[in-house]
Amino acid sequence: MILPGNTGSTINIANPYSNVVTGIDTEFLALANKVNVGDLFIIVDSGNPLRGISKIVSNVISNTSLEVFGDFVYPGQGKLKTTNDSLTLQISSNTNTVSDFIQVGDSVKFNVTNFQLAGTVNISGSVITGNTTAPNVTYFVGNVVVGSEVTVNGEVRLVTTVTNNDHLIVNSNFTNAGTNKYINANSVLVKTVSAISGNNLTANSKVFANATNLVYIVVPDYASTNYDYKVITLTDE
């Protein structure tokens, strides 16, 4: 059997990193259209067909709430390229049109390793202070996150706080203070897509790294719009 029985019902997912589906006018527990653990739940995106995701139902909480196995992020097609001091993210070697599997409002998540951040820094204790004078201005926000590994003056530390574009706190004191030092980082970056043109994505903030052949995942925005869905019953209940 293929559901829903109520053709006017839709679903919404507030957090794609979670496994929770919220129904709007759904009847997940209705006897005639009951969704069971083990059924196949499919998000239908008619405008961007490859954004549709299939998940196995793990728990039916109520008529308007259920859980699935796993989250709702998915691998991106092809590879990602970043350009220093640019909002543009370029996708290559993809099989399908980019706008079929990414839409404006989605985010892309990728890892950049050992890249030199823009600007120079001073270090003292556990504090990294960025330069605020051109041409050595730092842009930490969006390029360093809590948990990023940074290297300054040959010492490696983990970022515990990103205060703003010119202030970081790390997990332990630097052995020696330093001024006008370069800073390298290993960071997992998440950029929200504000526009799509061909294979180019426009991000919500600049990336300060030249990196190619990056594997990335898509974090879909399933919260801004309600989506159609299907459930294929794989159980005998």
CATH number assigned to the domain comprising residue 17: 2.40.30
Q: Which amino acid is at 233?
A: T
Q: How many domains does the chain have?
A: 2
Are 158 and 56 members of one domain? no
Residue 5, pLDDT score:
46
Q: Are residues 66 and 98 in the same domain?
A: no
The more confidently predicted of residues 65 and 187 is 65
Same domain, 214 and 104: yes
Residue 50 phi/psi, 5-degree rounding, is -80, 0
The dihedrals phi and psi of 17, each to the nearest 5 degrees, come to: -80, -10
pLDDT, averaged across the chain: 92
Q: Are residues 194 and 101 in the same domain?
A: yes
Q: Tens of pLDDT along 193-231?
A: 999 999 999 999 888 778 899 999 999 999 999 999 999
* 3-state secondary structure at position 195: strand
Domain match, 185 and 82 both: yes
Residues 10 and 79 in one domain: no
**109 and 130 fall within a common domain:** yes
Regarding whether 158 and 79 lie in a shared domain, the answer is yes
Q: Is residue 237 part of a domain?
A: no
Q: Is the pTM of this model over 0.75?
A: yes
**Are residues 94 and 111 part of one domain?**
yes
What is d(CA 227, CA 237) in angstroms, rounded to the nearest whole number?
26
Residue 202's contacts (CB-CB under 8 Å, 6 or more residues apart) are 87, 88, 89, 193, 194, 195, 196
Are residues 205 and 184 part of one domain?
yes
Residue 158 in domain: yes
Q: Which residues pair with 190 in a beta bridge?
A: 109
CA–CA dist 179, 130 (Å, integer): 10
The residue among 74, 75, 55 whose CA lies nearest residue 11 is 55
Q: Around 233, how many Cα atoms within 13 Å sit in the side-chain half-sphere?
A: 14
pLDDT score, position 32 = 78
Radius of gyration of the chain (CA): 22
Sequence-distant (6+) residues with CB within 8 A of 236 are none
Same structural domain, 61 and 79: no
Supply the range of the domain harboring residue 8.
2-72+222-232
